[in-house]
Amino acid sequence: MEQLYAELFEAAGVGRRVGETIAGTAGQTQARWQTLWILGSGGTLTVPQVSRRLGVSRQNIQRLADQLQQEGLVALEPNPDHKTSPLLALTTEGRQALERINLAAEASHLEILEQFPASDVAALRALLRRFTAAMRTDPLS
Amino acid sequence: MEQLYAELFEAAGVGRRVGETIAGTAGQTQARWQTLWILGSGGTLTVPQVSRRLGVSRQNIQRLADQLQQEGLVALEPNPDHKTSPLLALTTEGRQALERINLAAEASHLEILEQFPASDVAALRALLRRFTAAMRTDPLS
DNA sequence: GCTAAATCAGCAACGAGTTGTCAAATTGAC
DNA sequence: GTCAATTTGACAACTCGTTGCTGATTTAGC
């Protein structure tokens, strides 16, 4: 069981590094990529909305959004529903950066799928979901 | 594929929290537990040796070791092989703390195994190892 | 032995994420 | 409408982990 945890953390670590490298092809980081991704697929959202979708703290996304805005990848739009909580929207530049990252990600996925076929992906996903559910019912957690 | 990554990170996150909670039963953290565990099973080691076994940076372990020493869970022993790199050894108090954590961990493992049987653990481990290997051969990483 | 390369401790800086607090804005119950 | 509860932005402090650098120590080639 300990080995399962060790291998889980190792896989997550390697995966994080792969993501960091992919994002790096467009001069971005894993965390910025995730934010761009959410905005690209979910339209315009406020900072708290993004943080809830990503399951991280509001302040963390606030900081990332400030950086992305300074770099010109994200623009603030007035929010008709909230006077002081603007909507985040991808700029043209931001959309292009996301596009570049997505291309690199696609290449990486195809590479990995050559050695780890789609059927294994499905099996691994199913086991991960069940393991996560089992951990969640542990009263200790 | 994106979903596989999402589920992998989610599982690792939940696992980390479970470990944090287990370590918390003895007033420790996940990271401190890992260090205690290495020292408990590997005898006396230097800081760089621990960091290599855990796959983290030396400075990180240095800081943890300093804290554990201040709390009296770890003691520094002179290293016959190296004048300025002392060996870390568990104190009686440290061994007791590790024992308490291990008991809580064992209880958690049994709980989880009720819903996620040993055969699934083996299957998940095998898939994780193969997926990690596939990610590692990705030239992007 | 002696010298070059690797390893080590200590320090600083940084990254990414967390929690906590406070005042302003929004929402909802009545 | 009013007022309490929630949400939000801004700011600060903190954790845990990283990299980078420097000087001392050890190791290995010769």
| pLDDT tens per residue across span B13-52 | 999 999 999 999 888 999 999 999 999 988 899 999 999 9
DSSP B45: B
Q: Please tell me if residue B119 touches chain A, with a CB cutoff of 8 Å.
A: no
Class of domain B2-137 (CATH, top level) = mainly alpha
Q: Name the residue in chain A with its Cα closest to that of B135.
A: A112
Residues near B98 by beta carbon (within 8 Å), at least 6 away in sequence: B33, B36, B37, B40, B90
Class of domain A17-137 (CATH, top level) = mainly alpha
pLDDT at A133: 92
pLDDT at B2: 87
- What is the spatial distance between Cα A109 and Cα A22, in angstroms, rounded to a whole number? 11
pLDDT at A27: 87
- Arithmetic mean of pLDDT, B69-94: 92
Q: Where are the domains of chain A?
A: 17-137
| pLDDT tens per residue across span A6-60 | 999 999 999 998 999 899 888 899 999 999 999 998 889 999 999 999 999 999 9
- Arithmetic mean of pLDDT, A104-124: 95
Which of A1, A30, A57, A129 to mutate to test binding with chain B, by most B CBs within 10 Å of its CB?
A1
Rounded alpha-carbon distances, angstroms, from residue B58 to B47, B64, B85:
7, 10, 12
What pLDDT band is residue A84 in, cutting at 50, 70 and 90?
confident
Strands A82-90 and B74-77: unpaired
Q: Name the residue in chain A with its Cα closest to that of B20.
A: A141
E strand or H helix at A90: strand A82-90
Residues of A (71-130) placing their beta carbon closer than 7 angstroms to any atom of strand C are 81-85
- What is the spatial distance between Cα B129 and Cα B70, in angstroms, rounded to a whole number? 37
Rounded alpha-carbon distances, angstroms, from residue B108 to B15, B23, B25, B88, B131:
11, 11, 12, 28, 26
pLDDT at B130: 96
Residue A141 has pLDDT above 60, yes or no: no
